[in-house]
């Protein structure tokens, strides 16, 4: 699995209410959620984001509530991966469960800048930004299967 896209960079403690504001939680429709992804912190995000782009965050990305709406909105907006220094555990689990790849790397998250074009090779465990290469743990095979299937429920249905 590989990803390549433009970086949309955010700081520390990006919580689920910033990712998808609570006023839009009356729906779980990905097409509707994507329209409001990140709007309270970055009003033009949905206008700029392109399929395959990558979010880079700081520490504790996805903190706050346990709602799945946040990773669903990110994935529906076309984001192919989120790289951060660290993730809230429930966000990490929800992201994998819906098939959104996420990678923890302090070095990459601190070095990569907004607007950079980066490439991620999930099999090798590499993030490339210009001439820099950041080594990260490769996803275990079973997580790759979940992501390729588009989420845990899809993977279970395949078995």
Mean pLDDT of 109-132: 96
Instruction: Tell me: pLDDT of 6 over 90.
Output: yes
Residues sharing a CB contact under 8 Å with residue 3, sequence separation 6 or more, in sequence order: 52, 54, 80, 81, 101, 119, 120, 122
Instruction: Tell me: pLDDT of 139 over 90.
Output: no
Range of the domain at 40: 2-158
Its pTM stands at 0.94
**What's the farthest any 2 CA atoms get from each other in the chain?**
44
CATH at 7: 3.20.19.10
What pLDDT is recorded for position 131? 94
How many domains is the chain partitioned into structurally? 1
Residues in a beta bridge with 118: 5, 129
Q: What is the mean pLDDT of the chain?
A: 95
């Amino acid at each position: 699995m590989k990803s390549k896209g433009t970086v949309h960079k955010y700081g520390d403690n990006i919580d689920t209410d910033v990712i998808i504001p609570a006023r839009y939680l009356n729906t779980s429709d990905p097409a509707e959620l994507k329209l409001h992804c990140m709007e309270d912190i970055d009003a033009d995000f949905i206008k700029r984001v392109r399929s395959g782009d990558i979010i880079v965050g700081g520490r504790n990305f996805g903190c706050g509530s346990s709602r799945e709406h946040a990773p669903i909105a990110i994935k529906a907006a076309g984001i192919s991966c989120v790289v951060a220094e660290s993730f809230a555990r429930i966000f990490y689990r929800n992201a994998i469960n819906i098939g959104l790849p996420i990678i923890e790397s302090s070095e990459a998250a601190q070095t990569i800048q907004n607007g950079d074009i980066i490439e991620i090779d999930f099999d090798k465990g590499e993030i490339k930004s210009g001439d820099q290469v950041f080594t990260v743990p490769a996803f275990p095979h079973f997580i790759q299967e979940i992501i390729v299937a588009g989420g845990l429920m899809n993977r279970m249905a395949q078995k």
